[in-house]
Structure 1
Amino acid sequence: MKPGEYFLLSAFTGNQALGNQACVLMLDDISDTELLHSIACDFNMPATTFLRKRADGYDVRWFAPDSEIDLCGHGTIAATWALTQIGGDEGPIQFHYNNGVLLGEKGRETVSISAEAILSEPTSIPDHVQRGFQGQVVGYETSPNKDLVLLNDEYAVRELKPNWNALRESKTFGYVITARGSTHDCVSRVILPYVSFLEDQATGSAHMLLASYWSQQLKKSNILAFQASQRGGEVICDVSETTVRPTAKAVPFGAGKLL
């Protein structure tokens, strides 16, 4: 990819109409926060991934129309696909961000990223969470990323309609609601009370949390997961003690160059 080039992709799917959309844009300089946010607003994607080439990989920043994103898995899946399948990069790709390094790799029909596992701690269920999720919460765990909300079954996850007013009684940024799946090890949705689109369609960072949790619960190191949003997304996660490796498909639906 050359500076100014961008690609539009759907991540966590092989279907352009499904998964989570992202723009991947290469620039010579990604230090101007106000400019990057303005560009992200113009693209109006759930995530715009900004890349800058460096000797040992790429600097990366992610922006939604609302604000900068601390960690964006689907944006990194999209970037890995664009760089390897279109840009011709070979071998593992290092993405350097504020909190560390993500490693992107391509497979035959998929791409993967390796990241530090996100661990959660069980705690009592807050009243606003129980009301926010219609009294169906059976367990609650906090994490440095989003909080984990356990429901009884897959049907509850798929059909739940959040009480947004109750959830906004707390400053918690986001919730990952989850249960065991019928055809997958787990199903989930990602609820974001303070973000304009309210629910994320397919979320890499959430699966760094989910895979760690369900790996412990199911005593297995390979987790097949489905995010049951409107567009949906599927991912396979390999889990070790310290890392999670989500693997998924991505598909492009547009490309261009900034003038």
Structure 2
Amino acid sequence: MKLPIYQVDAFSAQRFSGNPAAVCPLPEWLDDSVLQSIAAENNLSETAFFVAEGEGYRLRWFTPAAEVDLCGHATLAAGAVVTRVLEPDRDSVTFMSRGGPLTVSSEDDLLVMDFPARPGATVDAPSALLTGLGVVPRQVLVADYYLAVFDTIDEVMALAPDFQRLEALDRIGVIVSAPGTDVDFVSRFFAPGVGVPEDPVTGSAHCTLTPYWSARLGKKKLRARQVSQRGGELFCEDRGERVTIAGHAVFYMQGEIFL
């Protein structure tokens, strides 16, 4: 059995930056154990699988260690595969997922995702977060992930987390963020509990970052940068219960999997 596979660098206009995701269109679902094995073999932060359903597709995401409920960069990559390869006459696609419908639209040279907003609630910092980060943030919020807010980019860049301690948290991911200089805000994202110590660029984190920084800065449209080693840029808009998250995507590889 042979299956097509694509590797896409999401949230970047250049190869070798942004967040690489593998995308595997399937004629029908395989056993979960096979999907997980493919993701582990790919050894990227996420592999996206989708199957045609109605006028769109059913989309699932796997890290090398586990299936997850939402992944922004792999959704962007899947949207690129559909609109630029499989159905090039199509300018938008809707994926059904555990988190509901997710739409990816092609607008000029950007791909724009429409996701549910996940605003955070302020909480006292858990001890595992403080010991895991090794510093005390200005503010801590929680939604799907923890969000630790700092005052400067330098503080965010200097973080060297203890990933074993972060694994003890009751959320799979930790976002750290600060105001930007040439962008509105910067961030990093850690998810060691699902096999991703640091994610290069995390679209789903911006479901929480966008409403936070929109309220704090008093603006709806925001430009963001994830300051991982590979880095990436995102263009976000707060639309109340929804957020749009846009970015570039470039193809790195196309091939076949043999099963």
TM-score (norm 2): 0.94
Q: How far apart, CA to CA, are the structure 2 residues paired with 1:230 and 1:253?
A: 18
Bigger mean CA offset, 127-136 vs 70-79: 127-136
Answer whether contact 1:136 1:152 (CA < 8 A) is retained.
no
Match of 1:141 in 2: 141
Amino acid at match of 2:193: Y
Match of 2:3 in 1: 4
Match of 1:116 in 2: 116
Residue 136 of structure 1, CA deviation: 3.3
> Could you report, residue by residue, the CA deviation over 1:36-91 in whole angstroms, capped at 9, with x for unpaired residues?
11111222221111011122200111111111111010001001111112221513
Q: How far apart, CA to CA, are the structure 2 residues paired with 1:181 and 1:47?
A: 27
> Could you report, residue by residue, the CA deviation over 1:126-181 in whole angstroms, capped at 9, with x for unpaired residues?
233223222231100010x1111011211101111113344344333211000101
Answer whether contact 2:79 2:104 (CA < 8 A) is retained.
yes
Q: How far apart, CA to CA, are the structure 2 residues paired with 1:96 and 1:85?
A: 19
Match of 1:250 in 2: 249
Q: How far apart, CA to CA, are the structure 1 residues paired with 2:254 and 2:167?
A: 37
Bigger mean CA offset, 64-73 vs 193-202: 193-202
Structure 2, unaligned runs of 5 or more: none
Count of paired positions: 256
Q: How far apart, CA to CA, are the structure 2 residues paired with 1:79 and 1:41?
A: 18
> Could you report, residue by residue, the CA deviation over 1:110-140 in whole angstroms, capped at 9, with x for unpaired residues?
1011011011100122233223222231100
1:211 aligns with 2:210: yes
Amino acid at match of 1:160: L
Q: How far apart, CA to CA, are the structure 1 residues paired with 2:163 and 2:45?
A: 20
TM-score (norm 1): 0.94
Match of 2:20 in 1: 21
Amino acid at match of 1:37: Q
Using a 3 Å threshold, how does the CA distance of structure 1 residues 206 and 56 change in structure 2: closer, same or farther? same
Residue 193 of structure 1, CA deviation: 3.2
% identical equivalent positions: 30
Match of 1:220 in 2: 219
Residue 188 of structure 1, CA deviation: 0.4
Using a 3 Å threshold, how does the CA distance of structure 1 residues 91 and 67 change in structure 2: closer, same or farther? same
Answer whether contact 2:64 2:194 (CA < 8 A) is retained.
no
Q: For 1:1-80, what aligned pairs fall within 5 Å after superposition?
A: 4-30=3-29, 32-80=31-79
What is the Cα-based RMSD across aligned positions, in Å? 1.6
Q: For 1:159-198, what aligned pairs fall within 5 Å after superposition?
A: 159-198=158-197
Residue 31 of structure 1, CA deviation: 5.2
Using a 3 Å threshold, how does the CA distance of structure 1 residues 167 and 51 change in structure 2: closer, same or farther? closer
Answer whether contact 1:123 1:140 (CA < 8 A) is retained.
yes
